[in-house]
Amino acid sequence: TEKKESYVQPALVKHELLDI
Amino acid sequence: MADPQQATPPSIASEHAVDRTMLARSILRPSPDVQGTSMEGETVLLDLSTGRYYTLNRLGSVIWEHCTGHSTISDIHAVLCDRFEVASERALDDLVALVNQLVQEGLLQQEGR
């Protein structure tokens, strides 16, 4: 009866060059 | 004005792609110049060699935490299936896609066991 965690698609987001 | 944030493209160069016949032998480890910090379930990755930084969502962070040089892709897949409500095939597809992105961006290295 172990409850599992909800799943979301793994995502990698690339940000601008630390250009900032 | 363009959004400075951009999701990495799904197209992956074949030279970086994970070999699906090697899932049980492909060990994953962070690249030497990459520093990671977890905050509230998400992870910020800084590539010191390029000055570029990235963020991983909750599931991406779980995967990254297991990329310590000791786990294979198959090991991480088993963790995802055991811990989350997800079909095995989808978990594997998503895992391989993320690993491909991390390798392509130079954040992750894979080596044979």
* Angle between helix B73-83 and B88-104 (nearest 10): 130
Question: Is B30 part of any domain?
Answer: yes
The CA-atom distances, in angstroms, between B1 and each of B5, B53, B70, B73 are: 12, 21, 43, 39
CA B75 to chain centroid: 13
Question: Is B4 part of any domain?
Answer: no
**How close does chain A come to B112, measured CA to CA in Å?**
24
Question: Is B31 part of any domain?
Answer: yes
Which SS3 state, helix, strand or coil, does residue B74 take? helix
Return the higher-pLDDT residue of B63 and B23. B63
pLDDT of residue B9: 47
Q: CB A12 to CB B55 under 8 A? A: yes
Per residue in B44-59, pLDDT tens? 998 988 888 899 998 9
- pLDDT above 70 for B73: yes
Assess A12–B contact: CB distance below 8 Å, yes or no: yes
**What is d(CA B113, CA B111) in angstroms, rounded to the nearest whole number?**
7
Question: What is the arithmetic mean of pLDDT over B26-43?
Answer: 90
Confidence of residue B104 (pLDDT cuts 50, 70, 90): confident
Question: Is B73 part of any domain?
Answer: yes
Which SS3 state, helix, strand or coil, does residue A18 take? coil
pLDDT of residue B6: 53
Domain that holds residue B48: 26-106
- Helix H or strand E encompassing B112: strand B108-112
Assess A2–B contact: CB distance below 8 Å, yes or no: no
Question: Is B12 part of any domain?
Answer: no
Q: CB A18 to CB B5 under 8 A? A: no
CATH number where B70 lies: 3.90.930.60
- pLDDT above 70 for B17: yes
Question: Is B1 part of any domain?
Answer: no
**What is d(CA B102, CA B108) in angstroms, rounded to the nearest whole number?**
5
Question: Is B54 part of any domain?
Answer: yes
* Domain count for chain B: 1
CA count, 13 A, side-chain hemisphere, B32: 0
β-pair partners for A5: B84
pLDDT of residue B52: 81
Question: Is B84 part of any domain?
Answer: yes
